[in-house]
Amino acid sequence: MKSVLQQIIEIMKGNDATTLSVGGVLQPGQAQMLMSLVVDQSKFMQRVTVLRSNKLSFPVPIFNLGSRKLVRITEGTEASASNDSTNVGKLLTLKAVDLLYDLYYSFILNNLDNPNVEKLVTSDIAVQLANDILDLATNGTSETYSPSFVTLNKGWMKTLKDSADANKVDLVSSGGSNNYDSMQDLFSALLRAMPDKYKTPQCAFAVSPTRFEDYCREIGNKPGMGQILLNGDVATYLGYSVVPNPFIPVDATADNICGTNEYLFGDLKRLLVAYSTVDVQRSVVDKPRKKSFEYTYSVPVDFEIAGDEAMVIAYNS
């Protein structure tokens, strides 16, 4: 069966005036392949947990285990122990977001005999999807569907800010002054805010690329550490990874590590991205007056935190 792009190329090669209109729901395997390609485009997305579902609403069980559960059972007696383990699971409700992508006639005409043209188009669409999904997962504020991008869905940062269980670090004092003067001081504050039982080797700091560069400069300016300024390879603090996320908010003020910046610390696998495998829709329509083919992808997604109490967020509250 010919792909949509193969049909488009045949139309353009034959200078055929017949327009093309293709639409419908992708098969679960096609949807999974598309989203796998999306994840492959983003290093940060590869660090989080991506869930797929054949339902638009499903629970994710998350158990908060109690401590000191060991007992000694005497023969002939039935042990009784307090059950302080709780299920703090989340309900994920997937909501459709739409990607609009225009494939121009000129691009197709310049690549009629390019055997890799299909891969180029598919990769370009996947990059756009990856960027927008990660941006929304990071910065989404609500699910009100108002014209603003950030209202399409509620993201990780807003979820943690609203959570009574999440651990929080305030970057700015009530008087308006910055609480931290260096990235190392800030990282130390994030570590102090995290309960010891959640500190694992998988934990990492998630920062904006600008603040990652600040950390590299901070360490690289120390005696004997100049190589870091060339390579930018300070990837850890006290053994915990420092991972840039290009969509984490950053203060526009140069060298201001507080202000309106935001930071995360915890196991990034606790950051959840869920998508549907049964309701991913694709539409491709020929628009001769625009000299382009309009691609529209509709993908149901949702974002959650697997255990708010095991994450730390730093921001100006």
Which segments of the chain have a pLDDT < 70?
Answer: 1-2, 16-19, 61-68, 79-88
Q: Please give the pLDDT value at position 1.
A: 58
pLDDT of residue 65: 59
Structure confidence at residue 58 (pLDDT): 79
The ranges assigned to domains in the chain are: 4-60+91-153+273-305, 165-272+308-315
Return the closest-CA partner of residue 211 out of 157, 161, 262, 275.
262
Strands (E) across the chain are located at 21-25, 49-53, 57-60, 63-64, 86-87, 90-93, 95-104, 167-170, 203-207, 236-237, 240-244, 263-267, 271-276, 281-287, 292-305, 311-315
CATH number of 165-272+308-315: 3.30.2320.10
Report the candidate in 205, 163, 167 with the shortest Cα–Cα distance to residue 183.
205
Cα Rg of the chain, angstroms = 24
Position 84 scores a pLDDT of: 56
pTM for the predicted model, two decimal places: 0.88
- Collect all residues with Cβ–Cβ distance below 8 Å to 238 and sequence separation of at least 6: 187, 191
In tens, the pLDDT along 206-234 reads 999 999 999 999 888 888 777 877 787 78
